[in-house]
Structure 1
Amino acid sequence: MNIAIVTGASSGLGAVFLEAIVARYRNLDEIWIIARREQRLRAFADRYGNSRMRIRVIPLDLTEMEAHKELADLLANERPDIRVLINNAGYERKGLLRDMKPADIRLMIALDVTAATMINRICLPYMQRGSFEIITGSVSSFAPIPWQAVYAASKAYVRFLSRAVREEERERGVNVMLFSPGNMNTEMNVRGSSTGKLARLPYLNMRRETEKALAKAERGAATYTPMLFYKLYRVFAKLMPSALAVHITSLESGETSRRSQSSGRYAPGSRYAD
């Protein structure tokens, strides 16, 4: 049985990847969609499922270790051939680290680091020559980012993970590609809701970029960073020492500074893609 798996499939980039996969890969038997919100997943299953291709709803909270075991057991029972893996679930919360709730910090690490790693461990044994994985990273991984310290660090981990796993799987003919998008109009980053530097960054066309990402992963690309602006930022981050880069990458704005000075706190924004 040939399948695709999409994590973080209930909204945003994951939902757009699902739409692109349905249109692009008509020889799949099933697409497994994974996220916490079962009702949203079932709505997608009703929209895209048909007699030729089944959309299997798998409601899991990937921050929980039990969810990893449940997915591993399901794969062990079904033993499918995973042709496409979109390792996409993620969580972001920006603001001063000292003001963040410990639960939010743990959640970022649990989803962006632990879950991303465990999805690889669980799924790679079921991928064969010609299969590929797209791991959703971020341009935030290119340099340390004050006011986004944990998220940027988690995506830097993902960047190194993807590079290493790609090399491990190369001889088997399984491609692992890191997709590093910038601003996108998702639940995690609604256009017009950002302030400061984030609000001035260009937004990507998600449908166009997911199609490009799939095409590049098929051809064996190692990384894909969309848009010239973000490609240039990647070059800047490579050339500029991190001690200098943090002064430019900092998300602190005038509004943030005033809040910090007047109240001693900055209310961070939350972004959760599952």
Structure 2
Amino acid sequence: MQKRIAIVTGASGGIGKAFTKLMILENVDEIWAIARNKEKLAHLQNEFGKKIIPLSKDLASSSELHSIGQMLEEEKPTISFLINNAGVARMGLSKDFGVDEIQSTIDINCRAFAVLCTLCVPYMKEGSRIINISSAASFQPLPYLNLYSATKAFERYYSRALNVELKGTGITSTAVCPSWVDTDLLEKELNGKKIRFPDLISADKVAQKALKDAKRGKDMSVCKLHVKFDHLLTKIFSQKACMRTWLGKTKNYI
């Protein structure tokens, strides 16, 4: 009998760890927990038990990314859940981003998740769920966060379009679009100034809402009413108007 697995990227902290906790309660035999930090992965296994299979992978590396496909080919499991959470973000002026950082951000936020979707779908069956962690930053262009918001727009569009392509298979793809989430990814200070994040939400709440929405077959999961309202505003007002509002919020930090 094929073993049932869940795959979680960026599993060692934040939203990824929150999803890992939820996967323990699901009908899966193994949770392939993917992250770069071996020590954090070891702590994850100690905390949640032997169901956790720690995989130290740098998803910006083509060879390490494709090695996951090789593992799938060898073990031929049934993938019940693919949770693409790995991502990087930094706020700042575009001129301050080096070429290597730009390439790595695109590789992790865009290429890795799209490749993993392609690698994993053949091992999925009716009822399998793909959950891709996008962001409310994907709703509009965001100056000073433009690289991150652009990559998250790619992830949201790709994920929702994939959901349409999978229609009839019983497999669904859900783009998760939270606003500010209280994780280590969030920069707490910029240019010597502490950043104030309105309506900060926990990673656990984001993961719980996303899993519920994915099981309902929704192609988007938006946690909290104010984020849904922000999404509506980006449809009503021009992108230039939305960017002016965003600039008003960020002027004290840049």
Category of TM-score, reference length = shorter chain: over 0.9
Q: 1:197 to 1:252 in 2, by over 3 A?
A: farther
AA matched with 1:76: E
3-state SS of paired residue (2:126): coil
CA-to-partner distance for each residue in 1:19-46, whole Å, 9 max, x for gaps? 1211x31x21111000111111111112
Tell me the distance in 2 between the aligned counterparts of 1:168 and 1:198. Answer: 40
Match of 1:45 in 2: 45
* TM-score normalised by structure 1 residue count: 0.87
Structure 2 counterparts to residues 92-131 of structure 1, below 5 A: 92-131=89-128
Contact 1:93 1:104 in 2 (8 A): no
Length, aligned pairs only: 250
Match of 1:66 in 2: 63
Contact 2:6 2:31 in 1 (8 A): yes
Say whether 1:174 aligns with 2:176. Answer: no
3-state SS of paired residue (1:128): coil
Q: 1:11 to 1:200 in 2, by over 3 A?
A: closer
AA matched with 1:129: E
- From 2, 17, 22, the counterpart of 1:15: 17
- Structure 1 residue runs of 5 or longer lacking an equivalent are 257-274
* TM-score normalised by structure 2 residue count: 0.93
Higher relative contact order (CA 8 A, sep 6+): 1
Match of 2:7 in 1: 5
AA matched with 1:254: N
CA RMSD, aligned part only? 1.7
Q: CA deviation at 1:229?
A: 1.1
CA-to-partner distance for each residue in 1:231-251, whole Å, 9 max, x for gaps? 110001111111222111236
Contact 2:87 2:108 in 1 (8 A): yes
3-state SS of paired residue (1:92): coil
Contact 2:195 2:253 in 1 (8 A): no
Contact 2:143 2:243 in 1 (8 A): yes
Match of 1:253 in 2: 251
Q: CA deviation at 1:215?
A: 1.4
Match of 1:217 in 2: 214
- From 181, 204, 209, the counterpart of 1:207: 204
Contact 2:156 2:175 in 1 (8 A): yes
Contact 2:126 2:170 in 1 (8 A): yes
Tell me the distance in 2 between the aligned counterparts of 1:145 and 1:197. Answer: 20
Tell me the distance in 1 between the aligned counterparts of 2:205 and 2:69. Answer: 32
Tell me the distance in 2 between the aligned counterparts of 1:198 and 1:224. Answer: 26
